[in-house]
Chain A
Amino acid sequence: MLCFANVSTFYGKIQALHDVSLDVRQGEIVTLIGANGAGKSTLLMTLCGTPRAASGSIRFEGEELVGQPTCDIMRKAIAVVPEGRRIFARLTVEENLAMGAFFGSKTEHEEQLDKVLQLFPRLQERYRQRGGTMSGGEQQMLAIGRALMSKPRLLLLDEPSLGLAPIIIQQIFEIIEQLRTDSVTVFLVEQNANRALKLADRGYVLENGHIVMQGSGEELLHDSKVRDAYLGA
């Protein structure tokens, strides 16, 4: 479904990604783990088109994405939950969700709204409240809900557990698990390696811009190197 082939990305002269290749298949949950500054977010942003990949190709459902402007890429069946939530603080929950479905038709919008509110009953409770007045966990739910409003086939999550209480992280991961049943493919970028690997079908480990390891979630979870480096056990 999504396929990176030898992608390199630069920030000015500094190379952030070195010949990264990975693929995400239909219906999978794939996770990308790595330390701070390994290039995880850069990889996601390269997919979105800012910064552009200097070489290599990124294909989504067979279509080349490299070279397309960000807004065109994001209007395909890809949705991204950016790092740090980035909800519209002074807009209401309703408006935030509506922004997610900006390019859809009205009927699709209502249909998807029902689905999202079912998935996050909490958002229903806070429907007319301003986004910025909610707790961190609720904001994260809103960010995911907003991304789902465009009816994506591929959902990109950038550190959904950032700065949240363990119990909320638990809830968020349960919801990600649920998405699989709705045939949404999930690509999860996480620092919380333990949880992410438990959830994921497959995982990749990124280190200094190189993919250094890949395998099923189970395999990586029990790999001694991964355990030493990321799980601290």
Chain B
Amino acid sequence: MSARLRLAFFSALLVPLVAFPILGLKLVTVGINLEIQGAAPLTWWIIAACTLGMFVWQLLRRRLAAGWASSPNLPRIPAGTGNFLTRPKTQRWGILALALVALVWPFFASRGAVDLATLIMIYVMLGLGLNIVVGLAGLLDLGYVGFYAVGAYTYAMLGEYYGLGFWTCLPIAGAMAALFGFLLGFPVLRLRGDYLAIVTLGFGEIIRILLRNLTEFTGGPNGISGIEKPTLFGLTFDRRAPEGMQTFHEFFGLAYNASNKVIFLYLIALGLVLLTLFTINRLLRMPIGRAWEALREDEIACRALGLNPTLIKLSAFTLGATFAGFAGCLFAARQGLVSPNSFEFIESAIILAIVVLGGMGSQLGVILAAIVMILLPELTREFSEYRMLIFGSLMVLMMIWRPQGLLPMQRPHLELKR
């Protein structure tokens, strides 16, 4: 009892400690000076109530939990559901269903929603790419955003200086990101675990800072703007075509609709995601995919079997980077503007969160997690300053209820019949 009392006391103490500086103090502009003022009495009462609530909750948690469990008419999820949802066959159908919905949906949705969906697609691609590196090969990469930046800037710079279009730049962006992955991989992959994470983090930052300081080429902090949107076999989606080109709506004799451009970009993103999914699925069935997983499990055993760990790691790193490059190219096309601000560490963290949230190695999980992770901050935008708080608490709840991720990876196996 005394242990619980102590726990309850300190938990309760934490509430005013945290709430006082955040909610209790307000900065107010008085003339040209800032002044610190206390909050309204109501706020104080709320904090006091929360403190008391926390104390009671911690003290009686055990009893409350027992009461909760014994309360009857709660709808329960059948026990087999989790197992069923993570089964590879279910996931395959799940992905197919999602793809179908995703294909039809933009023609009925609003322009803003489609634009947001394009962003989600980009993150799905990033998540799938990082999933190779982190989920399958087990290399914790915190600088993944660096390759994303390389892809985006490749398109932006080639478009700016050489006037190349999206379709030419897409493979080049992938190849450039792969090249960077390969070059950075060489020195990095001698390291393991935490050390690898720190060094990749450093590389991600180096790329971003390089982009910011190479002002002559990359435009520095201002970035590069006016990036062209992709065309459909030379047909642009603009209202008026530039010289020597034709517009989409004139060619097909349709009325001009601004959302066509957005839908087209979305469909490209969807196509790229499907391509990514297909490629990764193929790779997983090939020996290289199994080698990645074996390497994650036991490096020494891999060496004992005559595999070359460096080569396998490098292939995972390079391939993961390639998909980031594609995603970056798409991002540049969607945004029309790239600047180093878009490639900060928080992006890496979000992508990593997508992979972990989805369940390491699971593809449907990564897709769902990307949707949740990108959609949530948008949906909670009305709560403005509290939305990161909501986001954080959702992550905590998530880790309590499904610590292995939304839909963890499952291998085919037989059930023992009794």
Contact = CB atoms under 8 A, between A and B. Distances in A.
A167 interface: no
User: In the complex, which of the residues B302, B303, B304, B414 has the most CB atoms of chain A within 10 Å of its own CB atom?
Assistant: B304
B290 A71 contact: no
B294 A88 contact: yes
Nearest to A101: B305
B297 interface: yes
A88 B301 contact: yes
Interface string A52-79: 0000000000000000011111110001
Contacts of A90: 293, 296-297, 411
Nearest to B290: A95
Given A128-B414, A130-B411, A91 B305 contact: no
B294 A99 contact: yes
B243 interface: no
Contacts of A91: 290, 293-294, 297, 411
B306 A86 contact: no
Contacts of B305: 74, 79, 99-100, 102, 146-147, 150
Interface string A70-114: 111111000111100011111110010011101100000000000
A168 B414 CA distance: 26
Contacts of A73: 306
A30 interface: no
Contacts of B411: 90-92, 130
Contact of B293 (A72, A88, A102): A88
B298 A102 contact: no
Given A102-B307, A130-B413, A86 B301 contact: yes
A46 to B, nearest CB: 14
A82 B304 CA distance: 7
A147 B303 CA distance: 12
Given A86-B300, A87-B301, A146-B305, A129 B413 contact: yes
Contacts, number: 77
A74 B300 CA distance: 12
A102 B291 CA distance: 9
Interface in B297-320: 297-298, 300-308
Contacts of A72: 306
A92 B413 contact: yes
A48 interface: yes
A98 B293 CA distance: 12
B290 A150 contact: no
A86 B307 contact: no
Contacts of B290: 91, 95, 98-99
A73 B304 CA distance: 9
A50 interface: yes
A201 B13 CA distance: 73
A122 to B, nearest CB: 15
B287 interface: yes
Contacts of B297: 88-91
A174 B310 CA distance: 37
User: In the complex, which of the residues A79, A91, A128 has the most CB atoms of chain B within 10 Å of its own CB atom?
Assistant: A91
Nearest to A80: B304
B412 interface: yes
A32 B290 CA distance: 34
Contacts of B304: 48, 74, 80-82, 86, 147
A60 B297 CA distance: 30
A69 B310 CA distance: 12
Nearest to B303: A70
A98 B288 CA distance: 12
Given A86-B298, A91-B290, A91-B294, A102 B303 contact: no
A71 B306 CA distance: 4
A88 B298 contact: yes
Nearest to B308: A71
Contacts of B307: 71, 99, 102
A146 B306 CA distance: 12
Nearest to A85: B301
A128 B415 CA distance: 10
Contacts of B287: 98, 102
A146 B305 CA distance: 9
A86 B306 CA distance: 14
A82 B300 CA distance: 8
Nearest to A89: B297
User: In the complex, which of the residues A73, A90, A129, A147 has the most CB atoms of chain B within 10 Å of its own CB atom?
Assistant: A90
B412 A150 contact: no
Nearest to A48: B304
Contact of B413 (A79, A81, A99, A128): A128
Given A48-B303, A75-B306, A129-B414, 14 more contacts: A48-B304, A70-B303, A71-B308, A72-B306, A74-B305, A79-B305, A81-B304, A82-B300, A86-B301, A88-B298, A95-B290, A100-B305, A102-B291, A150-B306
17 contacts: A71-B307, A74-B304, A75-B306, A82-B300, A86-B300, A87-B298, A89-B298, A90-B297, A91-B294, A92-B411, A98-B287, A100-B305, A102-B287, A102-B307, A128-B412, A130-B411, A150-B306
Query: Which 3 pairs show the lowest CB-CB distances between chains A and B?
Result: A74-B306, A88-B297, A86-B301
